[in-house]
């Protein structure tokens, strides 16, 4: 398995995306729902357009999955 060295800001954005998504799944406040959806959109754009992806042409889908795994559970980053 290929190991990726993700920039801290990219990892943090993915972690924030997961946190916002979890909040959205549990909120009952319509105003908060709007804020969280906008947050998810902003973070999605930041993650998808991050300059890091240009450094790994042709392997970006695997790297994106590795980013998600690492952000979800940092202790399993190497597995």
| Tens-digit pLDDT profile for residues 5-31 | 999 999 999 999 999 999 999 999 999
- Report yes or no: 20 and 43 within 8 Å, Cβ to Cβ: yes
pLDDT tens, residue by residue, 49-71: 999 999 987 878 999 999 999 99
More confident residue, 35 or 56: 35
What is the 3 state secondary structure string of 8-52?
HHHHHHHHHHHHHHHHHHHCCCHHHHHHHHHHHHHHHHHHHCCHH
32: confidence class by pLDDT, cuts 50, 70, 90: very high
75: confidence class by pLDDT, cuts 50, 70, 90: low
Rounded Cα distance, 2 and 43, in Å: 25
């Amino acid at each position: 398995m290929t190991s990726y060295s993700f920039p801290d800001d990219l990892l943090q954005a993915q972690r924030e995306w997961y946190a916002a998504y979890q909040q959205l799944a549990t909120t009952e406040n319509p105003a908060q729902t709007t804020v969280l959806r906008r947050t998810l959109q902003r973070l999605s754009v930041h993650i998808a357009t991050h300059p890091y992806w240009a450094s790994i042409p042709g392997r970006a889908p695997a790297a994106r999955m590795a980013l998600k795994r690492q952000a979800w559970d940092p202790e399993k980053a190497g597995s």
